[in-house]
Amino acid sequence: MARTPVISSHDLAAGYASGKQKKIILSHIQIEIFPGEIVCLAGANGIGKSTLLKTLAGLLPPVSGSIMLKGKPVVSYTRQEIARLISVVLTTRIPIGNLRAREVVALGRYPYTNWLGLHSAEDEEKIKIAFGMTGTRELESMLIYELSDGQLQKIMVARALAQDSEVILLDEPTAHLDLHNKISIMKLLKDLSSKTGKGILVATHELELAFQVSDRLILIRENGTLESGTPEDLILKGSIDSFMNYSSVIFDKSSGKFLPVRSPGPALMVHGTGIPYVWTKNALERSGYSVAREGSEYLAAIHIDIKNDRVFWTIKYQNTMEIVYSIESLLNCLDKFFLHV
């Protein structure tokens, strides 16, 4: 049985239309999000990720083309029905810092409550679940301006959860967060998609994070074309290399990381294993040396050894040999040898 996407777009053009003037930012967009999957929408800053997301959410009218929700055109739904199907986490700040986290999350029940906004037992239950799933119970009675950026983002995710929609669209949910919070938010979204069966679309420019969590990745290229697939397929196809077309950055296929381009410095042979080897290599490359392959030429050799749980490095250069006990001394020593090179 073919699955029906919860949200899909057909030849959609996103942009701003005011009066006769049309400003199309992205066109011919075909996107499908299925239940239970997390899809990352990646592209450089300013490429139109937000515009596309807002168009999908119904916050911007499509310039042309159509959006389908569960196989039916979006125009056949009422505002309230759409709000029960799509929730969003936007980049805009909540203008009122004096709201309590609980009030923000409770407003997620807006599409379900009566004119006075009174909560039923079910509403209360959904709010409780939203706090529980995001691990934010202890934040309930805090004012939102007291929250850290990471906590606030979790509350905004909780608010979207309380809205109990089938799709959640998130715009740069990891922007302005430290690494720990970035990973924690992405993991939370990943867990939510698999546990709740919601379709989750995350716009982000952080590909490394996207590789780790997304079931599918949609790349928006500089020229506005879209490419979709599992992250691994895209990496193997070489789509990522051509995607990030910066002269100063290269994509390392073996690690899935973006690395700064380095001009090959003095080649060194490094003998060693395990974690000390990894970080020695990291330190050398970061300082402008290159690590020679087995059998190729090199200027100096470094042996990593461990004695009594202590790591030490033996450097052999021409006729001299030195032993050092930290990476810092290793680099100083190498500088001494090669500074004039």
Partner 1 sequence: MNQNNIKFRSLTRIRSYILLLFLIIAVVFVLFVVNISLGSVSIPPVQVIKTLAGIAVDNISWQNIILQFRVPKAITAVLVGSGLGISGLLMQTLFRNPLAGPFVLGISAGASLGVALSILAGMWFGLALTQSGIAGTWALAAAAVAGAFFVLVIVLIISSRIRDSMSLLIIGLMMGSATSAVVSILQYYSRAESVQAYLIWTFGSLGGVTWEELEVFVPVILTGIILSWLITKKLNALLLGDQYAESLGMNIKKARFLVILITSVLAGAVTAFCGPIAFIGIAVPHLARSLFRSTDHRLLLPLVAMTGAVIMLGCDIVAQVPGTEFTLPINAVTSVIGAPLVIWIVFKRQDLSSSFS
- Exactly one of 143, 259, 278, 321 binds partner 1 (CB under 8 A); which one? 143
Stretch in the footprint of partner 1 (CB under 8 A) among 141-149, 194-202, 259-267, 296-304: 141-149
At residue 32, the 3 state secondary structure works out as strand
Instruction: Report CA-CA distances (Å) from 270 to 19, 72, 153, 209.
Output: 66, 61, 44, 31
User: Between residue 91 and residue 110, which ones bind partner 1 under the rule CB under 8 A?
Assistant: 92-100, 102-104, 107-108, 110
Phi, psi for 311 (deg, rounded to 5): -85, 135
Nearer to partner 1, 77 or 337 (CB): 77
Nearer to partner 1, 29 or 104 (CB): 104
Pick from 150, 169, 158, 160: nearest CA to 49: 169
Site string for partner 1, 147-176 (x = CB under 8 A): ----------------x-------------
Site string for partner 1, 215-254 (x = CB under 8 A): ----------------------------------------
CA distance 236 to 311: 37
Beta strand spans in the chain (E) = 7-18, 21-33, 38-42, 64-69, 72-73, 86-89, 167-171, 199-204, 216-220, 226-229, 249-252, 257-260, 267-271, 290-291, 300-307, 310-317, 320-324
User: Between residue 257 and residue 316, which ones bind partner 1 under the rule CB under 8 A?
Assistant: none
The token pair that represents 329 in the structure block: 């001394």
Check residue 58 for interaction with partner 1 (CB under 8 A): yes
Nearer to partner 1, 104 or 300 (CB): 104
Which residues face 89 on adjacent strands? 170
Instruction: Report CA-CA distances (Å) from 144 to 29, 152, 154, 156.
Output: 36, 7, 11, 10
CA distance 180 to 177: 8
CA distance 48 to 245: 18
Check residue 57 for interaction with partner 1 (CB under 8 A): yes
Q: Closest distance between partner 1 and the C-beta of residue 66, in Å?
A: 20
Q: Closest distance between partner 1 and the C-beta of residue 304, in Å?
A: 52
Check residue 83 for interaction with partner 1 (CB under 8 A): yes
Nearer to partner 1, 88 or 324 (CB): 88
Check residue 86 for interaction with partner 1 (CB under 8 A): yes
Residues engaged in binding partner 1 (CB under 8 A):
54, 57-59, 78-80, 82-84, 86-88, 90, 92-100, 102-104, 107-108, 110-111, 113, 115-117, 128, 137, 140-141, 143, 145, 163
